[in-house]
Homo-oligomer: A and B are copies of this chain.
């Protein structure tokens, strides 16, 4: 199937494009009334994520409603620990948590590794349905959590401001920590390869908790595994988004991937200098800009586009869109990017 709009793939590869492509992290979600309608009828997030026909439906919504240049499969990074034998729950206010978490080496040894990716058929099925229904309109992005971020949830058992239990394990037992990170890495590679087989045109790794590690820990416990994943996936363009890892931008620029995501703290010109010219940059508007007026959204978006320049940029926010953002402001952001010409 020939893609009718392959702007984002060309931008990722460093080819020239007629305009800057645009999508949003968390574009399939609570910002859309059409999503909330579907979600309300279900028992919870997990029913939606594990029912391929429904997951495909909400994946397509932002393409139809917002006109973004890519779809991203509706799922969660925590499906990987679940496939390894550590199921997660999604509590409405509290966020995700794990009834069983990792505290000992025995816990790690009991994890399922060989063919764990086969537990995630519902994701591949959702990708296949989405690809059919997209019918080549825009590319489909697959994704996974980076191993450190998955490790953080598996050890902490829930979200945390400090992830101090997870960091404690890194400091106190690096050997055990590496054993768990290796297992996560292996399953993640197999999982992402299956996503490509099912039809994902592009992949993104989310290292959501990159920013709570020291630079030395980040090198040892996160970048090493991200690098292995990038090396294992030559088939499609890969984006690495390491939120808060300003201190690792130079090393991120050396990864075997096409695109580096920036959060809104990371200066655009400075990041380009540090990362170099061989990567596409993605981001990085402050999600809070979308709380303001249409005029301000347009002004800040255009200013961001000018600073990134016409080459090797994929427009996005510097974080997932906040769930209480007005859909029309999101549309204004998307339209501003699509109408802008250098």
Minimal beta-carbon separation of A294 from chain B (angstroms) = 12
Minimal beta-carbon separation of A170 from chain B (angstroms) = 8
A211 cross-chain contacts in B, Cβ below 8 A = 265
Contact with B along A247-267 (1 / 0, CB 8 A): 100000000000000001111
Give the interface segment out of A40-48, A130-138, A285-293.
Answer: A285-293
Are A265 and B244 interface neighbours, CB within 8 A?
yes
- Can you list 17 A-B contacts (CB < 8 A)? A161-B161, A162-B287, A162-B322, A164-B324, A167-B288, A168-B291, A171-B286, A171-B288, A171-B291, A171-B300, A172-B292, A172-B293, A213-B265, A214-B264, A244-B265, A247-B266, A247-B270
One complex includes copies of this chain to the number of: 2
CA distance A31 to B265 in the complex (A): 32
A276 cross-chain contacts in B, Cβ below 8 A = none
| A265 and B246 in contact, given A164-B322, A171-B296, A322-B162 (Cβ under 8 angstroms) | yes
Are B291 and A164 interface neighbours, CB within 8 A?
yes
Is A215 an interface position by the 8 A CB rule?
Answer: yes
| The residue from B212, B214, B247, B286 contacting A214, defined by CB atoms under 8 A apart | B286
Minimal beta-carbon separation of A136 from chain B (angstroms) = 36
Minimal beta-carbon separation of A129 from chain B (angstroms) = 33
Contact with B along A280-307 (1 / 0, CB 8 A): 0000001111011100100010000000
| The residue from B164, B217, B288 contacting A164, defined by CB atoms under 8 A apart | B288
Minimal beta-carbon separation of A283 from chain B (angstroms) = 11
| A265 and B291 in contact, given A162-B322, A172-B296 (Cβ under 8 angstroms) | no
Are A167 and B286 interface neighbours, CB within 8 A?
yes
Minimal beta-carbon separation of A342 from chain B (angstroms) = 21
Contact with B along A158-192 (1 / 0, CB 8 A): 00011010011001100000000000000000000
| A289 and B246 in contact, given A211-B265, A322-B164 (Cβ under 8 angstroms) | no
